[in-house]
Amino acid sequence: MPVITCIDDLKRMHKARTPRMFYDYAESGSYTEQTFRENTSDFQKVRLRQKVAVDMSNRNIASDMIGMPVTMPVGLAPVGLTGMQRADGEIKAARAAEKFGVPFCLSTMSICSIEDVAALTTKPFMFQLYVMKDQEFLENIIGRAKAAGCSALVLTLDLQILGQRHKDLKNGLSAPPKLTPSSIADLATRWRWGMEMLRTKRRFFGNIVGHAKGVTDTANLASWTAEQFDPQLDWQKIARIRDMWGGKLVLKGILDADDARIAADFGADAIVVSNHGGRQLDGALSSIRVLPEIVEAVGDRIEIHLDSGIRSGQDVLKALALGAHATWIGRAFVHGLGAMGEAGVTAALEVIRKELDISMALCGERDIHNVGRHNVFVPAAWQDEYA
């Protein structure tokens, strides 16, 4: 087994072992990819404050996320098509998260269905919802998440209209992949991926095919999804979904202090400061850059999580220092999954845990709950450059 020391090690393996269209799906943003790039580069601008001659023994990075104990404040974010990065990918990722003691959130656009994951795991997982125009489908999928015992509903707010990702269009992204001369040539070099896919029946969007009216194959699916994301999603509809769900609710895609205030007034259990990994509004500020403003606005009223850009335990530490209660990783665990399956997801989590633990200690902290603004330096320009 190769020695894995950082997420980039897994990323290189992922690129070599997974068909290009699915690697590019994970490792890309919309339009010019400015926001996609700055999600990571802005983390590098936040510097850690080193402390010495302090007791660094008996450290604790365990915490909680919306009332659930976790071994570290990091969850596996909902990522579409995870089951195309590796056969049965969502199940493998959920199992790794379960064994590690961190949350897993299943995407509406997953390959493995809610029922597939529930049948092959033992602990509750969260479910992420995209709001579709089809009311019958919407009510049905919320009911299915309830029946599966999902611990929280993560409602994504920043994908009412699909952002354009050039690589997906040029690669002809589909699940399963359409056989063209270029895709066949690419698949021929990833034969292990293909052999695994041939051994599973889960190759379509499991939450949609057979559940949405008239969607029985990939041809129906493409036309259905193209017109189903609801551009009229507003706070009234969100309230109806909250009442329909009746459980813990997380609002994902908050990038503005006013929206954060509305979410806090709304009574959500948590918000996720997120720009969809740079895959929606290109040119938006990075998640880490807007986090302090949102913490200042609502940090004493609602649990604040952050995703988009986290590639290391140091990134997690910086987000916590700037006021996030918890974080979510997407590409970091997907790189592990594409590289080595379930073992790769575990490897990604281990990398992040070790980096978080050691970096916290070198900042002079022994308990994750004591990490705060005093542990970091933040660029002065961030305070007023875009005011």
3-state secondary structure of 188: helix
Counting as low any pLDDT under 70, the low residues of the chain are: 218-219, 222, 387
| Euclidean distance between CA atoms 96 and 353, whole angstroms | 14
The three state secondary structure string of 302-316 is: CEEEECCCCCCHHHH
Instruction: Using alpha carbons, select from 161, 160, 186, 155 the residue that is nearest to residue 173.
Output: 186
Helices 342-362 and 7-17 cross at an angle (nearest 10°) of 160
Which residues contribute to the annotated binding site for FMN? 78-80, 107, 128, 130, 156, 252, 274, 307-311, 330-331
| Euclidean distance between CA atoms 93 and 216, whole angstroms | 27
Pair of tokens at residue 238: 């969100």
Domains of the chain: residue spans and CATH: 7-203+230-383 (3.20.20.70)
DSSP labels, 39-94: HHHHHHHSEE----SS---S-B--EEETTEEESSSEEE---TTHHHHSTTHHHHHH
| Euclidean distance between CA atoms 385 and 387, whole angstroms | 6
Peptide bond into 176 cis (omega under 30): yes
In this prediction, residue 53 carries a pLDDT of 96
In this prediction, residue 381 carries a pLDDT of 84
Instruction: Using alpha carbons, select from 254, 251, 335 the residue that is nearest to residue 15.
Output: 335
Cβ atoms within 10 A of the Cβ of 119, count?
A: 11
In this prediction, residue 386 carries a pLDDT of 77
Pair of tokens at residue 84: 């195309």
Contacts of 180 (CB under 8 A, 6+ apart): 172
Strand runs labelled E in the chain: 47-48, 63-65, 68-70, 74-76, 105-106, 126-129, 153-156, 249-254, 270-273, 303-306, 326-329, 376-377
306 beta partners: 273, 327
Residue 281, Cβ density class (10 Å: 0-12 exposed, 13-18 middle, ≥19 buried): middle
In this prediction, residue 206 carries a pLDDT of 94
Q: What does pTM read for this prediction?
A: 0.96
- Report, in angstroms and rounded to the nearest whole number, the Rg of the chain calculated over CA atoms: 20
| Euclidean distance between CA atoms 77 and 154, whole angstroms | 10
Active site residues: 276
Q: How far apart are the first and last CA of the chain?
A: 49
In this prediction, residue 216 carries a pLDDT of 75
48 beta partners: 376
370 beta partners: none
In this prediction, residue 179 carries a pLDDT of 85
